[in-house]
C-alpha cells in the first residue's frame, strides 16, 4: 500500500504511544511501517532532497503537530511519550486524528495561526497532505522541471560549434578533462572520423574519452551508435560519450549495453539535468537555508 500521509499517521502514532513509555522516532517508524505493511522500497524511499526518508519525515511531522496540540510531550533528547491529554483523547476512541481534529486545542490553533501568518498564506494545514519539506521539494521540482525544459530549448537553438563547446565545459565541470583550456584544445582535433572531441578522463590523462555531440531533434538510432563504436575501435579507444539534444531508440540503448567499448548515452533531458546540477548555463537566483533544531545544544552538562 502507499505510504500514509502525515495526518493519517497521527492516530496510529498516538496509539503506539499508549503504553506510556518513552519512545524514539526510529522505533515508531519501524512499528508503523510494519502496521501499514510497507515494503522495503517504501521504507527506504527518500524525499526528493535525498536527506530523509519519506516515512521518517511524515511521522516526524505527525509527532510535531500532536506535540503542538499537547497530545505528545518530549521528555528528554530524542525521546517522547503520550501526555495526559493524549491519553484522554485516546479514551474517546476517535476514528481519526488529523489537523482538523487538532484545531479544537487552543495551543495548536495558536501555532497554526502563527505559521500561516509567517508564511503569508491562508489556512492550509487542514487541507494539505504534504509535510512542509514535501511541499518545498515539490515546488522545487516544478521549478526545476520548467528550468530544464527551457534550458534544453536554448541548447537546441545554439549553433553546432557552441554546442560542442558546451559539452566539453559540462564534462570538465563534472571532473573530466583536467582544465577547460586543455579540454577545449581537443575539440575538433580528432579528425573527421565521426568524433567531435577528445577529452582526458582525469587530470593525469591516464585515459581518453571520445565525444560525439549531436544537436538533433530526431531520435538517434542504432546505426549512429554503431558508427560511433566503429570510430572508437579505429582509434583503439575504449570509452566514449554520445550526447544528443533529442533521445535514443531502444535498439540504440541495447546496442550500447552489449558492446565491449563503454559508450555512455546522454539524451536531451539528461543533458539539461546535468547542466543544472553542474551550474552550466544557469545561475542561482534565490537560496533558502532550511534549518532544524540542534538538540546537542540543549544538552546540559
Interval 42-67 mean pLDDT: 91
For the stretch 151-188, pLDDT in tens is 998 999 888 888 888 988 898 888 886 666 655 444 44
Reduced to 3 states, what is the DSSP secondary structure of residue 246? Answer: coil
Residue 193 scores a pLDDT above 60: no
Task: Identify whether the C-beta of residue 131 lies closer than 8 Å to the C-beta of residue 57.
Answer: yes
Sign of CA dihedral 161, 167, 173, 176: negative
How many helices (H) and strands (E) the chain has is answered by 13, 6
Interval 11-16 mean pLDDT: 97
For the stretch 226-250, pLDDT in tens is 999 998 888 888 899 999 999 999 9
Reduced to 3 states, what is the DSSP secondary structure of residue 245? Answer: coil
Task: Identify whether the C-beta of residue 99 lies closer than 8 Å to the C-beta of residue 124.
Answer: no
As a whole number of Å, the end-to-end CA separation of the chain is 45
DSSP assignment string, 45-97: PBPTTSSSBHHHHHHHHHHHHHHHHTSEEEEETTEEEE-HHHHHHHHT--S--
DSSP assignment string, 168-187: HHHHHHTT-SSSHHHHHHHT
Distance CA 218, CA 225 (A): 14
pLDDT at 300: 54
| Predicted TM-score (pTM) of this structure | 0.66
Domain boundaries, the chain: 10-130, 157-277
DSSP assignment string, 287-299: --------GGGG-
* Fold of the 157-277 domain: Trna Endonuclease; Chain: A, domain 1 (3.40.1350)
CB atoms within 10 A of CB 291: 5
Name the average pLDDT for the chain.
85
Distance CA 228, CA 232 (A): 6
Confidence of residue 295 (pLDDT cuts 50, 70, 90): low
pLDDT at 202: 67
pLDDT at 78: 80
pLDDT at 198: 80
Q: What is the CATH number of domain 10-130?
A: 1.10.10
Report the b/e string of 200-214 with b at 16+ CB within 10 A. bbeeeeeebbbbbbb
Report the b/e string of 37-62 with b at 16+ CB within 10 A. ebeeebbeeebeeeeebbbbbbbbbb
Distance CA 8, CA 31 (A): 15
Common-topology check for domains 10-130 and 157-277: no
Amino acid at each position: 500500500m502507499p505510504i500514509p500521509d502525515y495526518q493519517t499517521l497521527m492516530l496510529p502514532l498516538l496509539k503506539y504511544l499508549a503504553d506510556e513509555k518513552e519512545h524514539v522516532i526510529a522505533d515508531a517508524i519501524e512499528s508503523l511501517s510494519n502496521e501499514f505493511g510497507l515494503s522495503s522500497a517504501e521504507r527506504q524511499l527518500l524525499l526528493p532532497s535525498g536527506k530523509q526518508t519519506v516515512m521518517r519525515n511524515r511521522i516526524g511531522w505527525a509527532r510535531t503537530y500532536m506535540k503542538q496540540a499537547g497530545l505528545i510531550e518530549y521528555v528528554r533528547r530524542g525521546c517522547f511519550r503520550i501526555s495526559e491529554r493524549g491519553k484522554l483523547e485516546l479514551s474517546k476512541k476517535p476514528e481519526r486524528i488529523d489537523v482538523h481534529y487538532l484545531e479544537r486545542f487552543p495551543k495548536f490553533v495558536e501555532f497554526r495561526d502563527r505559521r500561516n501568518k509567517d508564511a503569508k498564506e491562508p489556512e492550509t494545514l487542514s487541507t494539505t497532505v504534504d509535510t512542509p519539506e514535501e511541499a518545498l521539494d515539490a515546488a522545487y521540482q516544478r521549478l526545476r522541471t520548467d528550468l530544464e525544459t527551457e534550458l534544453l530549448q536554448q541548447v537546441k537553438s545554439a549553433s553546432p560549434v557552441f554546442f560542442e563547446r558546451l559539452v566539453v565545459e559540462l564534462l570538465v565541470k563534472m571532473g573530466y578533462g583536467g582544465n577547460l583550456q586543455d579540454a577545449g584544445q581537443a575539440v575538433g582535433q580528432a579528425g573527421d572520423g565521426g568524433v567531435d572531441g577528445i577529452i582526458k578522463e582525469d587530470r593525469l590523462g591516464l585515459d581518453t574519452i571520445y565525444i560525439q555531440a549531436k544537436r538533433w531533434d530526431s531520435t538517434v538510432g542504432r546505426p549512429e551508435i554503431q558508427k560511433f563504436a566503429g570510430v572508437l575501435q579505429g582509434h583503439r579507444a575504449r570509452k566514449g560519450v554520445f550526447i544528443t539534444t533529442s533521445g535514443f531508440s531502444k535498439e540504440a540503448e541495447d546496442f550500447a549495453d552489449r558492446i565491449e567499448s563503454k559508450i555512455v548515452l546522454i539524451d536531451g533531458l539528461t543533458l539539461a539535468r546535468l547542466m543544472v546540477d553542474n551550474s552550466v548555463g544557469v545561475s542561482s537566483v534565490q537560496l533558502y537555508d532550511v534549518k532544524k533544531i540542534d538538540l546537542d545544544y540543549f544538552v546540559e552538562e
